[in-house]
Structure 1
Amino acid sequence: MTRAHEWLVNARHLFVLTGAGVSAESGIPTFRDAQTGLWARYDPLDLATPEAFARDPVLVWQWYAHRREIVARAAPNAAHQALARWQSHRRMSLVTQNVDGLHARAGSRDVIELHGNLFANQWFNGCGRCPIDVARTTQPDRPPACARCGALLRPGVVWFGEALPAAALDAAYAAAADSDVCLVVGTSGLVYPAAGLPSIAAERGARVIVVNPQRSDLDHDADIVLYQKAAECLPILLADAGPAH
């Protein structure tokens, strides 16, 4: 912990990658664990796809409304807050696989959201000329439609089978390549291309620190692995940021 803290304090540019483990400590269930109550009989892999929305947009819209309600009740935890404080004093690029927006709510700036944002919307097969404000609906439990072309709004997240947003991915690659310390928090290292970002940082000479209570696929390439929960570890690891050197 002491050596990792020293690396962070002396970092020119810290690159941070966060995953579901950070949000879990705010009480947000993982993708599959969210399937409770009326939704227990549905497989999330059968709902979070373009094909599912095309087949039954009302069902998918209602499922995401349920997820939005869960996330809206959650609050940033000590890990989110520690990262936001650190960024207020030092150069840090924050990339997340989470769609809950908790990093921004904690005060982090310019968060690169690789998988989109749960509370954003975008058009599904729209005409390309429809602003969001022309969406209309008479039934809150159904996706609003474009008043011009009839296209439906969908959640602004990346579904299975879809590519990550190019701008976010390019920004993440550039930040990883420019960093000299990479901090990976709460991710299994199984989901690509996000899982490849620490390797990009390491190839450019960055030291890699992994924080995760369980072993991950990124451990063998890390310089330091801290088997701890993010909300317990990060406030200590990122303490006393102070002005940058």
Structure 2
Amino acid sequence: MNGIILVDKPSGWTSFDICKKIRNLTREKKVGHGGTLDPFATGLLLVFVGKAVKFSSNFSSGDKGYIGEMALGVKTDTLDSTGVITETKNDFKPFDEGQLKNAFNKYLGAIKQKPPMYSAIKINGKPLYKLARKGQEVERELRDITIHQLEILGIDGNNIKFKVVCSKGTYIRSLADDIGNDLGCGAHLSSLQRFYSHPFLLSQALTIQTIENFSKIGELEKIILPVEQFIF
């Protein structure tokens, strides 16, 4: 089997877990993905099978789209809801929509972003997250990214739902943390769903259960997309 399987990743699964599952179902040794999703995140994960794996970098470098929620007033060490709370602030005044839009709009376009300590980026051969787990923090170089679209979808008390379309390598956790710091109250990313990974949409993806069902009836090939149609 060779091609792409579009997976709707559930929360709690790592991207590696998904690849391992697809490897077992397809019995193909070569399986890879086109852009890591954090375990707590959900949504579209491109999984490459067989000879298609060599084309994964063509897709991982494409733009991504997310629907996220951030909680104001609470900071965590991982910058998301899986981490340990490091700071809380309850005495800030509610922000009006104009203040929030101004804070968000600052990050539109080509910007530089500092990656989080809890990330797989390596410094001197060591992944940052391993240093972070030991309580160590090191200097990280700013990275060039582009935020093509950043839109507030809803405000519910201290919770803000937003949509972002961005370049490869953008950390939405860091974006939420930066916006919270700019507002002066702190924030963390409370949920994240990837709805777009160029050129595919989440609506095209299948759940693990559905993929398993196709496997049981011997029709996995029906859901594998030929990579040649989408090379750009």
Q: Which TM-score band applies after superposition, normalised by the shorter structure?
A: under 0.3
Structure holding more helix per residue: 1
Structure holding more strand per residue: 2
Give the TM-score normalised by structure 2. 0.25
Give the TM-score normalised by structure 1. 0.24
